[in-house]
Amino acid sequence: MKIFIDSADINEIKKYLSWGICDGVTTNPTICLKCGVTGGIEGIKKRTIEIAKLIEPRPVSAEVTSEEPKEILKQAREYAQLAENIAVKVTITDGEGNSFLPIIRKLVSEGIKVNVTAMTTFNQAALAAKAIDAGLKENPNAKIPVPNFISIFGGRISEEQGVEQAFKVLKNIRYWLDFHKFKGIEVIVGSIRTPENVELWARTGAHILTIPPEIIAKSLLGARTKETVVQFIDDAKKSMEEIEKQQ
């Protein structure tokens, strides 16, 4: 299982790279704003390039900011030219529920990596995978599938329908992809709210968990870990003192 860091903070990303737990990064304008990015779309592009260089060949997802198909294609093509390891984040539909599957297929057919996002059902994920697969088959380089992602918002499913339904959707889509032998498509779990989500959804078979830094910090803690560590150190010191006395 891979972990993608939900951040646009360079120092934060460096930290998790040094820990050995960063397999990729996901961003969006809200995350960029929170991390101090300024300068509008050009500022976001600049930060995206910085992240892409820092983590290459690992992927970084950058989000388009339009619901107009022609503008989505334009923005996606611009992002794809910034670095080879950029995946363009596109929602499964617009705000009215109109399908973006033709855009997704088109981008993949051009060799642009996509991260189809904002999905909360098995059906949405299956349709997104079909669109990606169709694009790969039209791509001249389809024999070496480029990595593409389908992002399912586990937290939002659990808020509306319970954690069991979120677990079921995630597990079933992974099984479905494997059963039908889809290539070049990986499942991302987004919208992770708690360390308990990390533990539960890591067991669904999802390829990737997108985890915010604050949840990583909480996941590192245990109810008695600090106490146990202090006891280990104290015991070790006392033992060393006794060993030295016996010399």
Measuring CA to CA, which residue among 99, 80, 98, 102 is closest to residue 89?
Answer: 80
pLDDT tens, residue by residue, 67-124: 999 999 999 999 999 999 999 999 999 999 999 999 999 999 999 999 999 999 999 9
User: Residue 14: CB partners within 8 Å, gap ≥ 6?
Assistant: 54
Topology, domain 2-211: TIM Barrel (3.20.20)
Residues 213, 45: Cα–Cα separation, whole Å: 22
pLDDT tens, residue by residue, 10-61: 999 999 999 999 999 999 999 999 999 999 999 999 999 999 999 999 999 9
User: How confident is the model at residue 142, as a pLDDT?
Assistant: 63
Q: Where are the domains of the chain?
A: 2-211
pLDDT tens, residue by residue, 144-202: 666 999 999 999 999 999 999 999 999 999 999 999 999 999 999 999 999 999 999 99
Residue 52, number of CB atoms within 10 A of its CB:
21
Residues 8, 196: Cα–Cα separation, whole Å: 24
Residues 247, 245: Cα–Cα separation, whole Å: 6
Measuring CA to CA, which residue among 47, 46, 42, 56 is closest to residue 10?
Answer: 47
pLDDT greater at residue 235 or residue 5: 5
Return the percentage of the chain with pLDDT > 90, whole number: 85
**Residue 89 designated active-site:** yes
List 14, 15, 70, 89, catalytic entry: 89
